[in-house]
Structure 1
Amino acid sequence: MDLRHLATLDAVASEGTFGRAAERLGYTQSAVSQQVAALERSVGGAVFDRPGGPRPVRLTPLGEVVLAHGREMLARARATEDAVERFKAGEGRVDIGTFQSVTNVILPAVVSQILTEHPRADIRLFEEETDQPSADGLDLVFFDGRLTGDVEQTKILDDPYALVARRGQFPEGPVPLQALHGAAMVAQPPICDQARVERVYADAGVAPLIVFRTADNRGVISMVRAGMGLAVMPRLALDALTDLSTHELEPALSPREIYLAWQANRTLSPLATRVIELAVSSAERL
């Protein structure tokens, strides 16, 4: 059955005459008659008793059945149209894979802006420290490096590294990379970009003594503060360290590259597209 025919049935039943239904729908009366006739052909019987003259038409028993179910179909159609319009306007759900630095520094501004623009948006964040995340089942994924597989991705930020030490441990200015040889260090697990950093150490003949590993950025900083060792951390992972000192390394480590990825050959929702725009602009401000 055509939804237009059901809408016409509903209008005639509500208004009582074909003429008033035509005014309500913006049709001619003959168009209303044609649509009712088409509906009656599709259901195989009359949906209205037509007494003639000024008296209102009445639903037949078949018409009552068709109207009851037809109104349910019209309500579902209106709900679908509303959901589609809200989706196009940026509502709906977006699932985002993230990691600590992005969660703490980039995403707060992004999430806040999205919820300001679209208060009914459903944002889901999934944080996992893994060597190579998957975009399967997610709309967007942040990662500190290029993702492999069937994905599209854009680099949003170069995040330089800094040596973190207790105040007075080194003079101001750059610190030679060789100063890390044999030094006690607190570090993250050797996954993601940390693995690359440690290969740079090895290639330079630098072998620090790793005394503690943790995926918690604050845990690393806390142990440096306690005097357990030095740390080499990306700038995005560092809050204002008023009681610690930061130094460039010489030669400098190449920065970690933060990417935003999504499944290739997949149409992104307006909400996911807006998240990309805001993440890029937030990274640019950094």
Structure 2
Amino acid sequence: MYELRHLATLIAVADHGTFGRAATALGYAQSSVSQQIAALERTAGGPLFDRPGGPRPVQLTPLGVVVLDHGRELLGRARAMTDAVERFRAGDGRIDIGTFQTATNLLLPPLIRELRDAHPGCDIRLLEEETDVPDLSELDLMFFDGPGDDDVERLKLAEDPHVLVARPGDFEAGTVRLRQLDGLPLVAHPAICDQARVEAALDAEGIRPRFVFRTVGNEALLAMVRAGLGAAVMPRLAVTDDQDLSIHPLEPGLPAREIYLLWQAGRTHSPLAAHAIAIARRGALTAAPRQATSTASS
């Protein structure tokens, strides 16, 4: 087995020409250099230097050339690994984050900004997916509109109330009674995650809207509302303030959407993932729901 310190000594002797100058460069006694080269020659199975004696420089043997070439490569890889480990410990690694539209637009920007400020060399990768069951098997962290399963740790970031989004004039300004949704044409997200909970809550109240269009895109839903296809019941954070839309609180209110940051329980985090969790724990990612008002008022 070749030891890296022996290879470093071989390189020093080859570069400086004599055992004495190599010892000075390395801060060793010359006898220590001789011992290390002798140990390396035993491992290689033959002499690595021709030693002419006197002040004349040593010369690499053919075997020495082979060992030197590979020794430089091995030491280069070892230094690269050391640098990579040091960068990893400093936070300049890779982090994979699962997300969804609201988290991407409102919660992620301050997180990414702080991580990039602290770790300019970090690699942040996002996976945006609408899913009913959070899968963290290949993710460090995941933003999710629910607490997840028992095998995850979680941090609650926000409670996001639901509002009715309609065209101005379709409803009187202010609060809309929940029973007014019965039979109402609605555009909506697919019936998974938060949307499934909304529809179950409406059904429990005996309220059955007519769902005329579904899509995962928040902006697409709002465009359908503007076009007059129907109203929409959406989490407030998913709705952009827009003069072409009227936003109404619901009475009684539906259960708020809960937004969590999830990670695998019992997992050893990279410094970058640990820093991201620390940022979230400080409350830096909390997005307070917008004030639900009707643009049709006044």
> How do 1:148-159 and structure 2 match up within 5 A?
148=149, 150-159=151-160
The equivalent of 1:27 in structure 2 is 28
Which residues in structure 2 correspond to 1:113-262 (within 5 Å)? 113-148=114-149, 150-262=151-263
Q: CA deviation at 1:201?
A: 0.6
Match of 2:55, SS? coil
Which deviates further from its counterpart, 5-14 or 94-103? 94-103
Runs of 5+ consecutive residues of structure 2 not aligned to the other structure: 289-298
Task: Report the CA distance between 1:88 and its aligned residue.
Answer: 1.8
- Paired letter, 2:71: G
Whole-angstrom CA distance in 2 between matches of 1:285 and 1:178: 29
Cα distance in 2 for partners of 1:102, 1:113 equals: 16
- Bigger mean CA offset, 209-218 vs 27-36: 27-36
User: Are the aligned partners of 1:106 and 1:279 in contact in 2 as well (CA < 8 Å)?
Assistant: no
User: Matched residues in 2 for 1:155 and 1:27: separation?
Assistant: 58
How many residue pairs match? The answer is 286
| Corresponding residue of 1:12 | 13
How high is the TM-score relative to the length of structure 2?
0.88
Name the counterpart of 2:285. 283
Whole-Å Cα distance in 2 between the matches of residues 269 and 258 of structure 1? 23
1:39-65: CA deviation from partner (whole Å, max 9, x where unpaired): 122222222222332222222222221
**How far apart are residue 153 of structure 1 and its match?**
2.6
Cα–Cα, structure 1 residues 73 and 210, in superposed 2: closer, same or farther, change >3 Å? same
Corresponding residue of 1:58: 59
Counterpart secondary structure, 1:233: strand
Please, which moves more after superposition, 59-68 or 170-179? 170-179
Q: Partners of 2:163 and 2:147 in 1: how far apart?
A: 22
Q: Retained in 1: the 8 A contact 2:145–2:260?
A: yes
For the residue of structure 2 that corresponds to 1:267, the secondary structure is coil
Q: Give the aligned residue type for 1:11.
A: A
The alignment's TM-score, normalised by the length of structure 1, stands at 0.91
1:161-214 CA-partner distances (Å, limit 9, x unpaired): 222122233334332212212222111111011101111111112111222211
- Aligned partners of 2:91 and 2:271 also within 8 Å: yes
Identity of aligned residues (%): 60
SS of equivalent to 1:248: strand
Q: Give CA deviations for 1:130-187 in whole Å, capped at 9, x if unaligned.
A: 2113112222222111222633332222222222122233334332212212222111
Partner secondary structure for residue 283 of structure 1: coil
Amino acid at match of 1:189: P
Contact 1:107 1:279 in 2 (8 A): no
Kept after mapping to 2: 8 A contact 1:166/1:244: yes
**Matched-pair contact (CA < 8 Å) for 2:144–2:260:** yes
Q: Give me the whole-angstrom Cα distance separating, in 2, the residues matched to 1:136 and 1:98.
A: 14
How far apart, in 2, do the equivalents of 1:213 and 1:10 lie?
A: 68
CA RMSD of aligned residues (A): 2.0
What SS class does the counterpart of residue 284 from structure 1 fall into? Answer: coil
The answer for the alignment partner of 1:40 in structure 2 is 41
Q: Tell whether the 8 Å contact from 1:95 to 1:139 is kept in structure 2 after alignment.
A: yes
Amino acid in structure 2 at the alignment position of 1:147: G
Q: Secondary structure of the residue that 1:199 maps to in structure 2? A: helix
- Per-residue deviation, 1:11: 0.6
